[in-house]
Amino acid sequence: MESKGLPAPVIIPSELKELSRQIEQWRRTRPYRMSKPETLWMLAANVARQHGLARQQAQPFAEGGAGIPAAEGLPPAAGRGKMKRPTERVELNMKELEDILERAKTHPLTDEECAKLRKALETLLYLTDLVGDKDTTISRLRKILFGASTEKIRNILGTESAKTGSPPAGSPEIPPGDPSAESSQEKFKGHGRNGAEAFTGAKRVHVAHGSLKPGERCPKCGKGKIYRIKEPAVVVRITGQAPIQATVYEMERWRCNLCGEVFTAEVPKEVGPAKWDEAASTMVGLLKYGTGTPFHRLEQLQKSLGIPLPASTQWEMVKEAAEAIEPVSEELIRQAAQGEVLHNDDTTAVILETIRERRMRERNGDAGDPAERTGTFTTGIVSLVQGRKIALFFTGHQHAGENLREVLLKRSAGLKPPIQMGDGCHATSRSYPRSSRSFSRTAMHIRGGSL
């Protein structure tokens, strides 16, 4: 019995149901926002053509006499959310497009003209889809329209060719037997395993052969004589240990049962009077200031390995070593002042001792000098001296320009003014007169309008 007033049931085509099932299955097994494969888009386009969607979309262009077949249609960009960017880049100008449209009024277009017009329409649909997307940025649109602003390999040759090393599309093919092809496919250095010669700081142990000596008969053929090869066979064995090692010396003690006198064995001469040696102080300094390992983190590591080394002890070790090598630091500053190019910059630093002293004065009612600078900064200066780099670091109340001025005061009078490379900080340029050095800023600060 028919129900009056109710609309006829909608019959969903089986092809559309199958397409919906495949898309739903693909979504369950893929990450969120991952682009759909081309096979699903082709299947959706075929279903759309079967039910008249593609013909309706392409019909206005076919009626205009442009020569585009109505059955082909255009890629459905508007309903995708994000259209895949065309991989091929075609350079067209507006005059060329206007000439194509003028010829379309009187003559059928050629295949080449149809392809150019099609690319222009696809680009328009693609950009329209991008503008409607909330995640699209101005920088992304610039990169799409005008290309990448950098000259990296992946931007010039394409991502795939930069990763795989394959030549870009359109480049001439090289025959497989050509020697130039083999040389172009050679691997770059620095991507293999480290050989035994790379372990310059490793301990070397000489292992003699257990049964052979020079001049003996060959144990295999029994006729020839064996001799020692200059290059030995090598095996690298890597072991682990704590950054700071410790040795406990247990000296025997003897006591007289009558008078009670105790006699202790002498400490070995190689131990020395100090609790730690120069190598331990150097290692703590390298870990702290060379690799950025804090004292408390090294303290936790050493404690977990059974060799406790408190942070306060580490500071004493570094302080003692710094006082011993102060003349070396002064000589490095003097040599850095003779450099041809000097890079300098600074950043804020936190020194707990200075903060504690300032707060103590404030509690005691001592406001101090209002003109006194309370900020603390770390300045880094890199000097290029005859092809060598010297890095200097200063921490205190002075800015980068003021520290650089003190370094350049030790420069020899007969040298020409150095080139200073710095940022756009005005304090840097005011701290030392321009007549005494050539000033240059980084490209980033130049583009930012710091000059």
* Interatomic CA distance for residues 283 and 280, integer angstroms: 5
Most confident of 200-204, 351-355, 445-449: 200-204
pLDDT tens track for 11-57: 667 777 787 788 778 777 776 666 777 777 777 777 776 765 444 44
Residue 147 main-chain phi, psi, to 5 deg? 85, 175
Span 414-434, pLDDT tens digits: 899 999 888 765 455 555 555
User: CA angle at residue 131 from 125 to 136, to 5 degrees?
Assistant: 125
Other C-beta atoms closer than 10 Å to the C-beta of 136 total 15
The answer to whether 419 touches 342, Cβ cutoff 8 Å, is yes
Taking CA atoms, 175 is separated from 157, 182, 186, in Å, by: 21, 10, 16
Residue 181 pLDDT greater than 60, yes or no: no
Average pLDDT, the chain: 76
Residue-wise over 356-394: b if at least 16 C-beta within 10 A, else e? eeeeeeeeeeeeeeeeeeeeebbbebbbbbeeeebebeb
Q: Which of 35-44, 57-66, 103-112 has the lowest mean pLDDT?
A: 57-66
